[in-house]
Amino acid sequence: MSPTPGTKAPRIYELAQLFLKLGVIGFGGPAAHIAMMQNEVVRRHRWVTPERFLDMMGAASLIPGPSSSELAIFIGYERAGLPGLLVAGICFVLPAAVLTAAIAWAYMRFGALPRVAGLLYGIKPVVIAIVVHALWGLAPRAIKGSRWLGALGVLACFASLLRVDALAVLLGVGVVSAIGRAWSTRTRGSRTGRLLAIGPLAGTVVASPAAFGLGVLFLTFLKMGAVVFGSGYVLLAFLRADFVERLHWLTESQLIDAVAVGQVTPGPVFTTATFIDYVLADMPSAVLTTVAIFLPGFVLVAMIRPLVARVRQSRNAATFLDGVNVASLALMAIVTAQLGRAALIDWPAVALAAVSVVLLVRFKVNPTWLIAGGALVGALAHGVR
């Protein structure tokens, strides 16, 4: 593992402390999680360079599973090898899993979800500000002053707006970037560089059982963790197909409640699995299936992390990764715009987002305090209404 500039030897407790904190405050979905990680590991702690962070983010976007969780796993591996990989990933997922299990217990006992509308009203504008701040810092590093990469970023934005699949956008822009470089240097020879293209794993099809079974439940979530690309909304499509339509273990109403839990809890949306399995079975099986859905991410990162450094040694493969990085930021920008429409619903919310941007840029306030402040403002505003 190559050393990171400006830091001492990695410490496991540093990773645990940081990713437990991010797991607790990580509202807003993958774009927000990535923004918070960028602020912590690049800006504050300087564990990795901006360029290295972009490479890991691009690689995480190309493999199945929750991209923000896999980015946390990448960072842990970068800092402390395999022990760091485990600690960073587990600590990032653990708070959301525990909170989701607690909500599932309340749901089963009282038959309803707790009300958090006031908190989310204040938290969402702050999350938008954090993501915008991260995009502003990462974009110049990704574009590198190149009009070509800038144009590819715009192309990725248009493709996303046209609802082209996110994985297709990432791979497509990466390939176009590499072809553009090869075309511009065609007079040097006809040698074609190898491109890094990580495809989806083949998922094991689980046969429909006649009755509920923990083994089938485990394999179903393991399959989802190994084949689901994109956001949590893609996962929800799999959940509906398997648990509502095929297995008939959940009702539409229960699935909607599970979706709500995934939206109102911090951390990765994949912890929806914890809620579903607690409703279907009990706490031990909820723990087991939570492990199942996240396990492929740990394995994939451990397998491909050494390849990321090698990619940079090949000009054509590095150009491919440059295109993927630009496309990743473009997709992140589109998601942020979509979230902004849902978060900035009135002038107080817009003002809260604007103040948060100023505090981040001018005074470099820690996002943790901003989220806490946003939650307080939202609770007060909700109480006044």
Q: Is residue 171 part of a domain?
A: yes
Q: pTM of the prediction?
A: 0.75
| Rounded distance between C-alpha atoms, residue 50 and residue 53, angstroms | 5
Q: Is residue 293 part of a domain?
A: no
pLDDT tens digit sequence for 14-70:
999 999 999 998 887 788 899 999 999 999 999 999 999 999 999 988 888 888 999
pLDDT tens digit sequence for 88-106:
999 999 999 999 888 888 8
Give pLDDT, residue 272: 81
Looking at the predicted structure, is the pLDDT value of residue 8 above 70?
no
| Rounded distance between C-alpha atoms, residue 247 and residue 238, angstroms | 12
374: Cα separation from own chain's centroid: 22
> Per-residue pLDDT averaged across 217-226, rounded?
86
Looking at the predicted structure, is the pLDDT value of residue 3 above 50?
no
Looking at the predicted structure, is the pLDDT value of residue 124 above 80?
yes
Give pLDDT, residue 224: 84
pLDDT tens digit sequence for 252-263:
777 767 766 766
Give pLDDT, residue 251: 81
Per the structure block, which two tokens stand in for 27? 């509202």
Q: Is residue 377 part of a domain?
A: yes
Q: Is residue 129 part of a domain?
A: yes
pLDDT tier for residue 348 given thresholds of 50, 70 and 90? very high
Q: Do residues 126 and 373 make contact, with C-beta atoms less than 8 angstroms apart?
A: yes
pLDDT tier for residue 297 given thresholds of 50, 70 and 90? very high
Give pLDDT, residue 4: 47
> Per-residue pLDDT averaged across 344-373, rounded?
90
Look at 129-133, 134-138, 226-230, 267-271 and tell me which has the smallest mean pLDDT.
226-230
Q: Average pLDDT over the chain, rounded to whole?
A: 81
Give pLDDT, residue 229: 63
| Rounded distance between C-alpha atoms, residue 346 and residue 351, angstroms | 9
Give pLDDT, residue 10: 58
Q: Is residue 32 part of a domain?
A: yes
Q: Is residue 116 part of a domain?
A: yes
Looking at the predicted structure, is the pLDDT value of residue 267 above 90?
no
The percentage of the chain sitting over the pLDDT mark of 90, rounded to a whole number, equals 31
Check residues 117 and 312 and name the one with the higher pLDDT. Answer: 312
Check residues 188 and 120 and name the one with the higher pLDDT. Answer: 120
Give pLDDT, residue 281: 80
| Rounded distance between C-alpha atoms, residue 336 and residue 345, angstroms | 14
Check residues 201 and 329 and name the one with the higher pLDDT. Answer: 329
Token pair 């293209």 in the structure block, residue: 197
Give pLDDT, residue 158: 94
Angle in degrees, CA 213, 91, 260, rounded to 5: 60
Q: What are the C-alpha distances in Å from 143 to residues 139, 146, 151, 321?
A: 6, 6, 9, 12
Number of domains the chain contains: 1
pLDDT tier for residue 231 given thresholds of 50, 70 and 90? low
333: Cα separation from own chain's centroid: 14
Check residues 247 and 357 and name the one with the higher pLDDT. Answer: 357
Give pLDDT, residue 210: 39
How many Å from the N-terminal Cα to the C-terminal Cα in the chain?
54
Domain range enclosing 85: 12-198+299-384
Angle in degrees, CA 97, 228, 243, rounded to 5: 70
Residue 120: other Cβ atoms inside 10 A: 18
Q: Is residue 110 part of a domain?
A: yes
Q: Is residue 5 part of a domain?
A: no
